[in-house]
Amino acid sequence: VAGGEDCLWYVDRNGSWHPGFDCEFFTFCCGTCHQRYCCRDPLRLLTERQQRHCLAFSPKTIAGIASAVVLFIAIVTTIVCCFMCSCCYLYQRRQHPRPPLQGPEIPLSSYPPAAPPAPFPMDPKAGPTPPQPGFTPMAMYPPPGPAAQYPMYPSGPPVYNPTAPPPYVPAQPSYPGA
């Protein structure tokens, strides 16, 4: 048996930390995982390997590892359940993606839409072109006549009349005690 085995740091049964210490020549680190001292009896020898084994498998270390594993499993389970449970926000968002924002269609002008231009310029001297087989002829221009009017809009810009009464404002309901 080799002499000079050092006692490594350890934690006693009360949870107090003790620093490591060196044993004199021809003495060994003796004791248990929670109490260490130097002695000359080789039967009580606690090798450095055994001391490290005490640190690796202490109840606090095992409890710390177990709590980390349980926390990890709980987080993963919660995330998986949120994607699979119909009452969860993440599930609803995945099942019903939001449509792009759409608002009411606003006309850009009060004029009716213009007829599309002809596909190519026509020579007025050439006359009408013969219809192609398989196509039915259709009018190229809108029929002459008055332009379509929208009944809700006035025909021109508003006219300022200084003698006109102010616009109608509906009466606001009065509340008792106001």
Rounded to two decimals, what is the model's pTM?
Answer: 0.34
- Residue 128 sits at the vertex; the CA angle it makes with 127 and 134, to the nearest 5 degrees, is 155
**Is 170 a domain residue?**
no
Are 19 and 48 within one domain?
Answer: yes
Give yes or no: residues 63 and 45 share one domain.
no
Q: How far is CA 6 from the centre of its chain?
A: 54
- Both tokens assigned to 102: 């759409």
- How far apart are the C-alpha atoms of 59 and 65, rounded to whole Å? 10
Number of structural domains (the chain) is 2
Residue ranges making up the domain that contains 70: 59-97
Written as six digits, the tokens of 123 are 């020579």
Q: What is the C-alpha separation between 52 and 134, in angstroms, rounded?
A: 94
Residue 4, sorted as left (phi over 0), alpha (psi -120 to 50) or beta, turns out to be left
Question: Does the residue 112 lie in any domain?
Answer: no
53 and 18 inside one domain:
yes
Whole-angstrom distance, CA of residue 147 vs CA of residue 156: 14
Q: What are the distances in angstroms from CA 52 to CA 59, 105, 124, 131, 137? A: 14, 76, 104, 99, 98
Element housing 31 (H / E): strand 28-31
Are 40 and 26 part of one and the same domain?
yes
pLDDT in tens, 90-104: 777 777 776 666 767
Q: Please report whether residue 14 resides in a domain.
A: yes
Q: What is the pLDDT at residue 1?
A: 42
Whether the pLDDT of residue 136 is over 80: the answer is no
Across the chain, mean pLDDT equals: 75
